[in-house]
Structure 1
């Protein structure tokens, strides 16, 4: 259970990013939330999978049991990158917008969120 807390934190922060984005564009916040969230949610899951594989060192089963998603490097950076890149690719595939300014804003806000809590955890530890 304790190992899922970082995933829950990441997911809540990605949802918050989507809520803020919808609100700032004066869109109905909750009715379209799933449409906005799913590409980034899928990217987040991809990031977790990639980070776990990178930490596996050939023994994937035991690595998953030992996997700690709290470190800023490399885990946080991998999760952030995959969330942004995967989210943008899936938005393109699904016909959603990916204006350059949106990519910059999304990358910046998600870095603040997904890397920020990890940096704070490390500083407080």
Structure 2
């Protein structure tokens, strides 16, 4: 895996783990003791999303890569949570879907905007 793809994968994993940590904290749960249990379904699904999207080819693409990774992360994460006896309440599904959309696709949109602005500055008016 090349540098840009490795950084993107780490960014996704950190953001998915952050999602799990914030969720635990918002429910007044101890964050660190249960973080692995909360995060693992989404991290496994994230890895599957990367494989299905072949994300290493264009890791910063918001739509082609980001949406596939996001959808697989949410869907797979929920399925793995259900299979492992963890909760999948409707409200949690909605919050997870929107938060992971912001995290997984959002940073790629921001990166694309920065690249576009830099390219415009390089070319000039």
User: Same fold per TM (> 0.5)?
Assistant: yes
- CA shift at 1:48, angstroms? 0.1
Segments of 5+ residues of structure 2 without an aligned counterpart are 116-125
For normalisation by structure 2, the TM-score amounts to 0.88
The aligned residue for residue 59 of structure 1 is none
Find out whether 1:92 has 2:94 as its counterpart: no
Number of corresponding residues: 113
Runs of 4+ in structure 1 off by over 2 angstroms are: none
Is the Cα–Cα contact under 8 Å of residues 63 and 105 in structure 2 kept in the other structure? no
- CA shift at 1:68, angstroms? 1.8
Q: Aligned equivalents of 1:100 and 1:82: distance in 2?
A: 18
The aligned residue for residue 18 of structure 1 is 20
The aligned residue for residue 53 of structure 2 is 51
Name the SS of the counterpart of 1:32 in structure 2: helix
Equivalent in 42, 45, 49 of residue 40 of structure 1: 42
Q: Aligned equivalents of 1:117 and 1:95: distance in 2?
A: 31
Equivalent in 97, 104, 113 of residue 103 of structure 2: 113
Cα deviation digits, residues 55-108 of structure 1 (max 9, x gap): 8xxxxxxxx6xx121101111000000000000000000000000000000000
- Answer with 1 or 2: which has the greater Rg: 2
Cα deviation digits, residues 18-76 of structure 1 (max 9, x gap): 01000000001000000001000011001000001xx8xxxxxxxx6xx1211011110
| Structure in which a larger fraction of residues adopt helix | 2
Find out whether 1:69 has 2:59 as its counterpart: yes
For normalisation by structure 1, the TM-score amounts to 0.88
